[in-house]
Structure 1
Amino acid sequence: MVGALAVTVALIVALSPLLRRIALARPTARSSHTVPTPQGGGIAVAAGAVAALAATAAVDPAGAPAGLQAAAVAAGVAVLAVTGFVDDVRPLPPGPRLVLQALAVGVVVAALPGDLRIVPALPEVVESVLLGLGLLWFVNLVNFMDGLDWMTVAQMVPMTAALAGLAALGALPFEGGVVALALLGALLGFAPFNRPVARLFLGDVGSLPLGLVTGWLLVLTAARGHLAAALLLPLYYVADATLTLGRRLLRGERVWEAHRTHFYQRAVANGLAVPQVVGRVALTNLVLAGLAVWTVVRPGAAVATAAATAGGAAVALLLADLGRPRTGRLSSRGSP
């Protein structure tokens, strides 16, 4: 974790001049920021995590991801990182972008263990298709939700920390815990540069691979019999992105176009400062992380039901709070 943090910080400092030249996000009518800001910090986040994993493999080969799964995830991350970087520099049409995302997700799902089952009652083919669609949606929603300074940090830091804790409890393969710690360190290294008002954005080069890797870790958690924990950890992101997409579909809007109608974006538009929004999100995610750990420490239907109810209530309260009208001025800027 410390290694990932250090490498990420060093790379951000080294790459910032280049990113300012070739990957500058200029404000538009749909942007939350008001000054041109470099994006592409995800390059350093991904590289920091990979460097930490490589160092782990050198010190303790048994503790690092290996085999077909690791190769598939690495290939998927590479495809999404290149796709995201190209899109950050020169926006891609939605069709080719979606095809490349589906390719990356398909490779990861195909490499999952043959005996991996989450819902045994479903035919294997049906479950594989549903996993692929779910992971594809998760990759996109992580990208959609990266639209405000510190938003990804507020979601992913509690989630990766919780995943590392779940690995320590045996709810996730040990190697998955190592990956979670590497991501946690990289995100902590990125956080100071993305603090409102951000000097650097994550960009698609970071958000797309981050969605793929964390989604893969959640699948592994669910496959070990901890479906409630796997659903609780990303619950706010899933709820905000899915409800927003559904609302836009009902309105007949072009859902592939940029917009500012997520709950967290509406909260800023209605007068909440960016730190107030991400603070609420981070607090809710800490609650969800605690509930997820509870379902692992005290397994059983009663605890899972209680945790799901409490988690759903916490997210519903957050969405209601973010969505309600307010008066006031925007005091901090967000990312695109």
Structure 2
Amino acid sequence: MTITLSAIFLVLFFLIELFYFRIADRYNIIDKPNFRSSHSKITIRGGGIIFTIAMLLCFFAFDYSYPFFVLGLVIISSISFADDIKPISNRFRIICHFLAVSLLFYQVGLFQLPVYIVSIAFVMAIGIINAINFMDGINGLTGIYSFVTLLTLYYLDTNVAPGFVSRDLLITAILAVTVFMFFNLRTKAKSFAGDVGSVGIAFIMIFFMVSLMVASGKVTYLLLLLLYGLDTISTIVFRLVRKENIFEAHRSHFYQFLANEKRIPHPMVALGYAIIQLVFNALLVMLEPSLTWTITGVVLSGLLFVALRFALEGKRRLLLSGNQPSKA
């Protein structure tokens, strides 16, 4: 993609986002604060729809590449956008997620692998989609974290594993995230990603990462989402220890503690997560660790992260029931 075409796409995405804001305002597609929220004002929901729109435009502009991935993205984004407007049953949503991921796996040729590997991949893909959705709780976090991940993938496509995916598609995703960050990476966001945004960008990043892992044969590239994984898994474990329903809305994530209890501005928390993940990514690219060293690194990182949570949040908050905030 040329610089001129990139600039045109960037301007076009800005205009599309502004047009969506008018539609969302007219049809009351908004996010009202509740006890799980880390914001206090009504804000437009669904600004992350630009991610799916950008992929569709790229699909039509560049030789109709990756049709099954695009179809899966449309399915999973459509059900997520519908859920942003009116709650959808969990069963129907899971069916749509499974169908979308199946299309993604078919696109990258994953069904040629043994059944047990495909089964594990399904569990991990669905888990990652939900984890990224759960982590979309403060201004800027989804945007800047995705931006770092996509930039790393672009570097890998340029310097380490050339051609694992269309570079035009990568650049388009980066441009769409850039536009979204302009409206979201603020103390007072103009728009939130919504499920359509967090689930959509999760699906896009999974496609890129699975394509990379299939091309390179290295599962270690899952570490491109390490920090999200540490926050999500540790939070689930602590909630299970407190005998809470892990499927109910909550404010137990570490990033929520930093933003809500420590009163650190949302953009600063988001930037912190992005910088830490960028360090992980740099180490992954430079060291190219074996699977054994990767597992060792993940375990040590997990222990350090849990120790940090205990140091800042305290044993009582993390382990004892009835100590979570009940309102924003």
Match of 2:154 in 1: 164
2-structure distance, mates of 1:241, 1:175:
28
Match of 1:331 in 2: none
Q: Which amino acid aligns with 1:287?
A: V
Once the two structures are superposed, the pairs formed by residues 292-331 of structure 1 within 5 Å of their partners are: 292-295=284-287, 299=288, 301=290, 317=304, 320-321=307-308, 324-325=312-313
Does structure 1 residue 94 correspond to structure 2 residue 99? no
1-structure distance, mates of 2:119, 2:162:
22
2-structure distance, mates of 1:279, 1:318:
17
Match of 1:81 in 2: 77
C-alpha contact 1:45 1:183 (8 A) present in aligned 2? yes
CA distance change for structure 1 residues 229 and 166 in 2, over 3 Å: closer, same or farther? farther
2-structure distance, mates of 1:25, 1:153:
17
Once the two structures are superposed, the pairs formed by residues 193-232 of structure 1 within 5 Å of their partners are: 193-194=183-184, 195-225=186-216, 227=218, 229-232=220-223
Structure 1, residues 289-336: CA drift from partner, whole Å, max 9, x if none? Answer: 2123214xxx563xx76677667656765665566149xxxxxxxxx9
Once the two structures are superposed, the pairs formed by residues 276-295 of structure 1 within 5 Å of their partners are: 276-295=268-287
- Number of residues paired by the alignment? 306
Once the two structures are superposed, the pairs formed by residues 169-208 of structure 1 within 5 Å of their partners are: 169-171=159-161, 173-194=163-184, 195-208=186-199
Percent of matched pairs sharing the same residue = 25
TM-score by length of 1: 0.81
2-structure distance, mates of 1:308, 1:105:
26
Match of 1:333 in 2: none
Offset, 1:175:
2.9
The DSSP-based 3-state class of the residue aligned with 1:234 is helix
Structure 1, residues 177-202: CA drift from partner, whole Å, max 9, x if none? Answer: 33222111100011111022111001
The DSSP-based 3-state class of the residue aligned with 1:196 is coil
Offset, 1:285:
1.6
Match of 2:50 in 1: 44
Once the two structures are superposed, the pairs formed by residues 67-146 of structure 1 within 5 Å of their partners are: 70-113=66-109, 124-146=114-136
Stretches of structure 2 lacking an aligned partner (at least 5 in a row) = 1-5, 315-327
CA distance change for structure 1 residues 2 and 156 in 2, over 3 Å: closer, same or farther? farther
Structure 1, residues 78-126: CA drift from partner, whole Å, max 9, x if none? Answer: 1111111111111223222222212211222234326865xxxxxx011
CA distance change for structure 1 residues 41 and 50 in 2, over 3 Å: closer, same or farther? same
CA distance change for structure 1 residues 140 and 106 in 2, over 3 Å: closer, same or farther? same
Match of 2:225 in 1: 234
Stretches of structure 1 lacking an aligned partner (at least 5 in a row) = 118-123, 327-335
Offset, 1:254:
2.6
TM-score by length of 2: 0.83
CA RMSD across the alignment: 2.6
The DSSP-based 3-state class of the residue aligned with 1:175 is coil
2-structure distance, mates of 1:239, 1:251:
18
Once the two structures are superposed, the pairs formed by residues 235-254 of structure 1 within 5 Å of their partners are: 235-254=226-245
CA distance change for structure 1 residues 3 and 170 in 2, over 3 Å: closer, same or farther? farther
Structure 1, residues 269-296: CA drift from partner, whole Å, max 9, x if none? Answer: 221222331121011021122123214x
